[in-house]
Chains A and B, each alone.
Chain A
């Protein structure tokens, strides 16, 4: 799953997600990707969020809606992502999830759970000549 957020030169924000879902799913199954607030979410007054992971579980928690609301309530992006992941882990300890959060100023952070490897995210902005990739440990 790719979940991507963009801020243009004027500070206007947008977000989106594209995925082919889970392998060998029951035909007709839809995951979290196209669900507003689950696969991604953005409120340009506050910030944006993108997500990947166990979609059948994640879409029950609307983690990106939760993360953006966390920003609105004063958390920084990492705290906002961590809280959203923790809400899922409390109910589903084995859930694989990765949440990336960016606020309206471009500050960013992430949290993850349940990956066999390491969850990563990528960003590029301002005058950066190349994209940076950040590794995120499981909580």
Chain B
């Protein structure tokens, strides 16, 4: 242990700016551990870290970036979270607002966005030119590969949708293989 105060987080490289921001904030006596978590994660969101945090990264099939965030207080065990947050950049800030201004734990989707707007967060487009270029390559250059669809027609491992579900039969030899695959995700959170 290096002693207190202390900050520790996943990943090095561009994520170190978040570590430093949170640690340096904790050196000020008026900043709490919760504040430091919010400050560190916000730095990563603003800097887009390695592309896996914040606006513009990890677009969905429709090229939209949505954000997930959660913050937890180690004293009260209370947590606030947002899932599939649309059009708001500061996801960890909205999660903090869920923690501070509601007795709920998780808000999702468009209604989480509305909560954020009601709490003073600015609605913004999370798509960037880089997002659009990446999406175009995925759709037109790579024929929508990889993707997360299965048991659909047309074959999702070979082409783009729209997809329709295939009838499933639990006596099929492939059925349980699809439920517990050895495969990893095509990309990670």
Residues in A lying within 8 Å of B, measured CB to CB:
1-36, 39-44, 48, 50-58, 91-96, 98, 100, 102, 105-108, 114, 119-128, 131, 133-134
Kindly list chain B residues whose C-beta atoms are within 8 Å of the C-beta of A39: 68, 70, 189
Q: Say if the beta carbon of B130 comes within 8 Å of chain A.
A: no
Q: Say if the beta carbon of B116 comes within 8 Å of chain A.
A: no
Given A25-B60, A36-B81, A100-B9, A9–B4 Cβ distance below 8 Å?
yes
Q: Say if the beta carbon of B170 comes within 8 Å of chain A.
A: no
Given A6-B36, A8-B32, A95–B9 Cβ distance below 8 Å?
no
Let me know if A15 and B83 touch, CB within 8 A: no
- A121 to B9, alpha carbons, bound, how many Å? 6
Let me know if A16 and B26 touch, CB within 8 A: no
Let me know if A4 and B22 touch, CB within 8 A: yes
Q: Say if the beta carbon of B114 comes within 8 Å of chain A.
A: no
Kindly list chain A residues whose C-beta atoms are within 8 Å of the C-beta of B37: 4-6, 14-16
Chain B's closest residue to A107 (CB) is B1
Kindly list chain A residues whose C-beta atoms are within 8 Å of the C-beta of B184: 54, 57, 92, 94-96, 114
Chain A's closest residue to B79 (CB) is A36
Let me know if B33 and A18 touch, CB within 8 A: no
Kindly list chain B residues whose C-beta atoms are within 8 Å of the C-beta of A33: 68-70, 189
Q: Say if the beta carbon of B73 comes within 8 Å of chain A.
A: yes
Name the contact of B149 in the complex, choosing from A10, A12, A26, A105 (C-beta under 8 A): A26
Kindly list chain A residues whose C-beta atoms are within 8 Å of the C-beta of B62: 27
Name the contact of A26 in the complex, choosing from B45, B72, B148 (C-beta under 8 A): B148
Whole-angstrom distance from the CB of B151 to the nearest CB of chain A? 13
Let me know if B26 and A9 touch, CB within 8 A: yes
Given A16-B92, A122-B12, A125-B4, A6–B26 Cβ distance below 8 Å?
yes
Name the contact of A21 in the complex, choosing from B31, B49, B149, B189 (C-beta under 8 A): B189
C-beta contact mask, B1-33 vs A, less than 8 Å → 1, else 0? 111111111111101101110110010010111
Kindly list chain B residues whose C-beta atoms are within 8 Å of the C-beta of A4: 7-10, 18-19, 22, 37, 40-41
A and B contact pairs by CB, cutoff 8 A, 22 listed: A1-B53, A2-B53, A8-B32, A10-B4, A12-B32, A15-B71, A23-B57, A24-B186, A28-B84, A30-B83, A39-B70, A55-B189, A92-B184, A93-B182, A95-B184, A121-B8, A123-B8, A123-B9, A124-B8, A125-B1, A127-B3, A134-B12
Let me know if A15 and B32 touch, CB within 8 A: no
19 A-B pairs besides A14-B71, A57-B185 with CB distance below 8 A are A6-B37, A8-B5, A14-B33, A14-B37, A16-B92, A20-B52, A23-B138, A26-B148, A27-B60, A30-B83, A35-B70, A39-B189, A43-B77, A106-B3, A123-B6, A123-B9, A124-B23, A125-B1, A125-B2
